Each structure stands twice: as structure tokens, then as C-alpha cells.
């Protein structure tokens, strides 16, 4: 081995998540609340010598934070996909990362939980804007229902 490993182009592609972001969000009614508008604030940083990006998320409604999350994004060179560990104020610990793949400027993750399947889509529009959408399926991915969509810009 010639020294320590170095981040490759797949790790570096994730670096675009670093920085401060703010977004206007629309939540659909769910068991967790009535839905409606919210503001998402995200602060991300490249970490662990460039191999990961970590970010913290806060969702505000009516001027107060009602939900928080913490993400760790990385690249699995053996599986050839992006890994995403998500921790939030609902308190569940992920048993494994949610896995995603890039299609051009769009990164799509799919995962399962006791509530069903989730699809999480990040669609970048240049370096300073992206749209994030969460969709859920209770029939094995045959049909999807939007849970949330946010339009974010660098703050």
C-alpha cells in the first residue's frame, strides 16, 4: 500500500452538500402533523479527510424548530453507491445506510423502514440550488405518495 487512501471523484461529488442552505418546504398531512409550509435549514461540512459529508438539519414551522436531523453521506467503493445514515428527533437508529445512485445531477436513495419504503430525491440545479423530495410507498414501490418537497438555495 502506498500511504493512506484518498477520496476519489465519487466522494468529491458529495462535497456539493457542504455549506449553509435554506429552503422553503411543503409537507403533506401525515400522522406526524397537519402538513403545510415549513423552512428547512441545513449546515453541512466535508469531514474525515474528505471521505464523508455530515450535515445538520432543522425544520421550522411558525418560527420554531419542530424537527431535527443529522446526516452522514459517503461513498461505498465496493458496492458502487452512495451511503446515507440519517438520525433524527424521532429517535430511531438506522440498522444500515440507505443507498443511492446518481443519474446526472440527481441523486436518488431508496430505503425501507417499519412504515414502508421511502424514496429520497436530490435534484441539483447548478451548484447553489437543489430540490429535495421524500416519497413513501406501502405497496412495495408500485405507487408513491409525496410526503415532503423542499427547494433549497445556498444561504
pLDDT single digits (tens) 94-112:
889 999 999 999 999 999 8
C-alpha 27/C-alpha 143 separation (Å) is: 19
Q: What is the mean pLDDT of residues 28-35?
A: 91
Mean pLDDT along residues 44-73: 97
Report pLDDT for 2.
78
> Over 90: is that where the pLDDT of 152 sits?
yes
pLDDT of residue 54: 98
- Cell numbers 406526524 correspond to 32
Whole-prediction pTM: 0.94
Encode pLDDT of 70-88 as tens digits.
999 999 999 999 999 999 9
What is the residue extent of each domain of the chain?
9-154
β partners of residue 21 = 42, 154
Residue 59, pLDDT score: 98
Mean pLDDT of all residues belonging to the chain: 95
| Mean pLDDT in residue range 38-49 | 98
- 30: β partners: 33
Query: Half-sphere exposure of 130 toward its Cβ, with a 13 Å CA cutoff?
Result: 21
- Smallest Cα–Cα separation from 116: which of 81, 145, 82, 91? 145
Instruction: At 32, give phi and psi (nearest 5°).
Output: -95, -5
How confident is the model at residue 79, as a pLDDT? Answer: 97
Average pLDDT value for residue range 28-52: 96
Note the pLDDT of residue 106. Answer: 98
Per-residue pLDDT for 1 more than 70? Answer: no
| Residue 6: C-alpha distances to residues 46, 52, 74 (Å) | 14, 12, 13
Report the relative pairing of strands 145-154 and 19-27 from DSSP bridges: antiparallel
Confidence check: pLDDT of 122 > 90: yes
User: What H or E segment, with its residue span, contains residue 63?
Assistant: none
The 10 Å CB-count burial string (b at 16+, else e) for 70-106 is ebbbbbeeeeebbbbbbeeeeeeeeeebbbbeeeeee
- CATH match of 9-154 with 3.40.50.1820: no
Amino acid at each position: 500500500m502506498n500511504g493512506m487512501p484518498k477520496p476519489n471523484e465519487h466522494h468529491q461529488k458529495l462535497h456539493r452538500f457542504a455549506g449553509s442552505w435554506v429552503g422553503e418546504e411543503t409537507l403533506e398531512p401525515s400522522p406526524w402533523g397537519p402538513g403545510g409550509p415549513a423552512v428547512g435549514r441545513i449546515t453541512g461540512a466535508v469531514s474525515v479527510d474528505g471521505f464523508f459529508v455530515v450535515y445538520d438539519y432543522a425544520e421550522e414551522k411558525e418560527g420554531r424548530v419542530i424537527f431535527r436531523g443529522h446526516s452522514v453521506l459517503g461513498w461505498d467503493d465496493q458496492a458502487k453507491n452512495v451511503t446515507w445514515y440519517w438520525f433524527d428527533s424521532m429517535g430511531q437508529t438506522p440498522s444500515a445506510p440507505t443507498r443511492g445512485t446518481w443519474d446526472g445531477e440527481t441523486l436518488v436513495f431508496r430505503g425501507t423502514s417499519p412504515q414502508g419504503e421511502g424514496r429520497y430525491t436530490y435534484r441539483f440545479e447548478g451548484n447553489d440550488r437543489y430540490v429535495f423530495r421524500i416519497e413513501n410507498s406501502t405497496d412495495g414501490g408500485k405507487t408513491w405518495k409525496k410526503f415532503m418537497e423542499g427547494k433549497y438555495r445556498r444561504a
